Amino acid sequence: MTASVIRAEGLAQRFGKRCLFNGVSFEVTAGEVFAILGGSGCGKSTLMKQLIGLLPPTAGRIEVLGRDLAHERRAIRRSIGVMFQSGALFGSMTLLQNVMLPLEVFTDLPPEGRAAVAQVKLGFVGLAEAAGLMPAEISGGMARRAGIARALALDPPLLFLDEPSAGLDPITSAGIDRLILDLRQDLGATVVLVSHELASILAVADRCIMLDRAAQGVIAEGDPRRLREDSTQSTVRAFFRREPA
């Protein structure tokens, strides 16, 4: 039986009197690419912030890598990697320095050791020759790859990617999709990605949940390819077939 690396039970998020979502429960199993998807404003990125410990849920419980996130947040953060939207690189640092940052915070490696590890991670995402460039000197696709390299710095078993291919051209987006599959195949990583990019979801995700703003929660769960073909729910069908709701 495949182990669960994430177990979410009854998650809710409210901002004042407004409820973004409620009663969200799901599991992510080891070695899969799991997508959190839905339309704009449904709470995808908010849910990811809950899962990585940046936003305590209003209600519910999260277990990550067998640990209760509410009580072991600092220990869990050492075992996960996160790529935030658009890469979220520090503009005053080179790509190499950006990737070295987690190593400076969480390890006792000397500077030359941190640089060597960071160079390897940049090489894995195809940016070995760009290590000395500044974020302002690279393209959007390169920024996403550099963000993924930084997320890989500590060799985490669990990776979170927030909109990794949003706004990219089709060729660059396909390259990011291929990289995500390589993370799973070559590194054995479990990947949780937030996305509303239909082509990427169908290309990489093993399973997904779909959030809906009107329903304030999960309206579908399963293999996205099966949901596209078999769903009888109008909102789910419209999303996967790119039809007006």
Please report, for the chain, the start and end positions of each structural domain, with discontinuous segments joined by +.
86-155
Q: Which two tokens stand for residue 1?
A: 């039986």
The DSSP string of 184-208 is HHHH--EEEEEE--HHHHHHH-SEE
Q: Which two tokens stand for residue 106?
A: 């969480």
pLDDT at 229: 84
DSSP code, position 176: H
Q: How far is CA 26 from CA 61, 136, 197, 232, 242, in A?
A: 11, 38, 21, 21, 25
Q: Which two tokens stand for residue 64?
A: 């990550």
| Chain segment 135-185, per-residue pLDDT in tens | 999 998 899 999 999 999 999 999 999 988 877 888 989 999 999 999 899
Best CA proximity match to 24, nearest among 238, 237, 233, 221: 221
pLDDT at 86: 66
Q: Please, which pLDDT band fits residue 245 given cuts at 50, 70 and 90?
A: low
Bridge partners of residue 161, in order along the sequence:
83, 193
How far from the centroid of its chain's Cα atoms is residue 206's Cα?
14
| Chain segment 95-133, per-residue pLDDT in tens | 999 999 999 988 899 999 999 999 999 999 999 999 999
Round to whole Å and give the CA distance between 189 and 186.
8
| Chain segment 31-70, per-residue pLDDT in tens | 999 999 988 888 998 999 999 999 999 999 999 999 999 8
Q: Please, which pLDDT band fits residue 87 given cuts at 50, 70 and 90?
A: low
Residue whose pair of structure tokens reads 């390890």 in the numeric block:
107
Indicate whether 1 pLDDT > 60: no
Round to whole Å and give the CA distance between 14 and 174.
35
pLDDT at 106: 87
Q: Which two tokens stand for residue 174?
A: 């396909």
pLDDT at 48: 93
Mean pLDDT, the chain, integer? 91
Average pLDDT over residues 218-242: 87
Round to whole Å and give the CA distance between 234 and 240.
10
Q: How far is CA 239 from CA 11, 42, 166, 174, 228, in A?
A: 23, 13, 16, 20, 8
145 contacts 179 by C-beta, under 8 angstroms: yes
Round to whole Å and give the CA distance between 63 and 225.
28
